[in-house]
Chain A
């Protein structure tokens, strides 16, 4: 078996002293960076890049990858503890994870996130090892129309996210799409919604919107309700998930892993959508969907598994085609170029130690994250016992400085305050912010793919329903939409009948 000899090679690289050391350093740095609000792996990796030139290419890649997925892991911790989503995938974790924390169940929430991530990481790693070339070939079938359709599907699932009015959820998605379009139009170079501010020509950073609408708004709301602050310090039941928790999480973890492994392969789109879709899926499958948004452990287990699985399979196009997914991966490929290794389809054959060493180290890194973080649960939970009057200024200062460093611009800090206010107003009016964030991320990508599709079809919209994968996704979206609308209408009717009687 070629796979086993390859894996043996991989583990020999990853389990070497240097492999383990740099994996550990990367994972620790990543977790630390991820926990801090507003500091992402991108800035960390760019700072470390010159240092990595002195390392072996495989050590450098292992360390940089460790920072990347360690940061994702750390981000979930912050999302659960203080409702601050540092990146798109942790937005969903906030919904139920933070609610669990408020109910004294921060320990189980963090633990299930760690366990789910580890299981998802293990499975998706096998996927990467066994099917990377096949999957990257499959991903190439995804053209602009398919991307557009999968984003439509993603947006429809986002409507499921919020409890309450569908119209409100859809409104928030549309508002998010509009906000996402601000900046420079790729097709024409036109500046849109920049209000004459040159800083806005790059668009608004996702982190600013997320931290404003979730983090800052949450802080203000907490100070407004003195009684709510005490919940944190109330008695913490237990640190580890109970047997019932584990049972409830088993299927969500499995489904999230499958979903994330598949979607992660699609550059840019997949990682974001997978956690949103997983959440919607669990809510649909649950016998008690009304618990979602109030601390349902499935709502943490599923999306966390999905986003970690996606984070691993996202390496497939990067490694097999040399095409980066996001800024962080682009930097990692840049590092390879500096070592004289041209990233591309040959890397797997010309530098097998690099490819398989990375695959093996990703599994070891996931194991390290689990082993390191379970004992730290108690520490994190204790952090919540710090009086809120001391905790919140720390969150505010870290958020403000972190946001400033995104583009070294004070305007980002001003926007943080603006989106904090926007978040407060919308929450007061019963609008959920999560759908807005998904719309915000997908807005520009959706427009780009829509416009390209229409050019490709020479102006014929039927392109979306004549391509099999595209039509399949639109159909799923339609079914999902119908399954949400029909019970709502029926419910309304029953309500009307009841009030007549």
Chain B
């Protein structure tokens, strides 16, 4: 019986113990939840900024990779976390603006459950085709796709991923029909494009640029409103005749709603300071990302704006998401 008592006693003590009071934030490591698996550009950005923040905050910033469900897993985790500043979300554009809107039984609400801290960086996609596809520009691609409806496959990293939505938007704007193949992770669709299993993809700059440089992928256009510094000769889709085509991606830092303003401010100032470091700027540039660092309310407005515009696109284009 003595043994049982020895087991139960600490349990009772633990139950009776009051919650720890927070004063000199941060007093323990901060966890940044990322809706992507380790590796790749996003992970690198998170680790770079996390590393910089941890040096300034004097506490470790741990990157917690929680991929899946288009980002809902990570968002849900942070939405339900204690608003004490020790669990933050590395928000990704469509994971916050699209996925929640199309997911049934959603357990969180982006507008209500998060306090935006700052938008960290923004980037755009490159529309690339396999070099065997006989098209050199967007007009030719549209003509080719219209002549051979459904014969071109495009890859994405899952239904509702930005790669998928950008292609759906492209189809809606051009009246073409492409076939969708979903891969787990961006590395799957890169391999598939190189092997000509898919013929086109809206790929990230980091995933496509090395292959563009050796001629294994042919860039046709970029997805933002400004040309990419790394590919100055490649027009935007907007310039190529698809007026108003603007798909960008961004990464931003969010805290669970209810986090005290003092903590949010401290995190904001730290993140912006890291973004202003020369080393950060260089690395972001090498990933073809633009450092941002706006205010929390500005970031919140961006989320609201894009949520509305994507909803409109999904409705008008009749995109079906299961």
Which residue numbers of A lie inside 8 Å of B, CB to CB? 42, 46, 49-50, 53, 140-144, 183-184, 186-191, 198, 201-202, 267, 317, 321-324, 327, 329-331, 333-334, 337-338, 340, 342-346, 407-408, 444, 448, 451-452, 455-456, 458
Contact = CB atoms under 8 A, between A and B. Distances in A.
Contact of B183 (A338, A346, A448): A448
Nearest to A452: B181
A209 to B, nearest CB: 18
A323 B210 contact: no
Contacts of A329: 39
A186 B216 contact: no
B187 A201 contact: no
A345 B214 contact: yes
Given A140-B194, A337-B41, A456-B153, A345 B216 contact: yes
Given A338-B283, A340-B286, A187 B38 contact: no
26 contacts: A46-B38, A50-B47, A141-B195, A143-B192, A143-B195, A186-B158, A186-B183, A189-B322, A202-B73, A317-B191, A321-B190, A324-B40, A330-B38, A330-B43, A331-B39, A338-B44, A338-B47, A338-B283, A342-B210, A344-B213, A408-B64, A444-B184, A448-B183, A451-B182, A456-B153, A458-B150
A188 B197 contact: no
Interface residues of B, number: 55
A337 B44 CA distance: 8
Contacts of B73: 184, 198, 201-202
Nearest to A267: B191
A343 B44 contact: no
Contact of A201 (B69, B180, B182): B69
Contact of B47 (A49, A190, A198): A49
Contacts of A331: 38-39, 43
Contacts of A188: 159, 322
Contacts of B121: none
Interface of B: 37-41, 43-44, 47-48, 51, 63-64, 66-70, 72-73, 76-77, 99, 103, 107, 150, 153, 158-160, 179-184, 187, 190-192, 194-195, 197, 206, 209-211, 213-214, 216, 282-283, 286-287, 321-322
Contacts of B213: 344, 346
Given A140-B194, A189-B322, 17 more contacts: A46-B63, A50-B47, A140-B191, A141-B195, A186-B184, A187-B159, A187-B322, A189-B158, A267-B187, A321-B190, A321-B191, A330-B38, A340-B282, A345-B216, A346-B214, A452-B182, A456-B197
B69 A189 contact: yes
Contacts of B38: 42, 46, 327, 330-331, 334
A142 to B, nearest CB: 7
Contacts of B72: 189, 201
Most B CB contacts (10 A, CB to CB) among A202, A267, A322, A334 go to A334
A342 B209 contact: yes
A133 to B, nearest CB: 11
B86 to A, nearest CB: 13
Contacts of B67: 202
Contacts of B48: 338
B199 to A, nearest CB: 11
Given A186-B158, A340-B286, A346 B66 contact: no
A330 B214 CA distance: 22
Given A323-B191, A334-B47, A198 B77 contact: yes
Given A189-B159, A323-B190, A346 B210 contact: yes
Contacts of B194: 140, 321
Contact of B195 (A53, A140, A333, A407): A140
A189 B103 contact: yes
Contacts of B69: 184, 189, 191, 201
Contacts of A53: 51
B116 to A, nearest CB: 23
Nearest to A140: B195
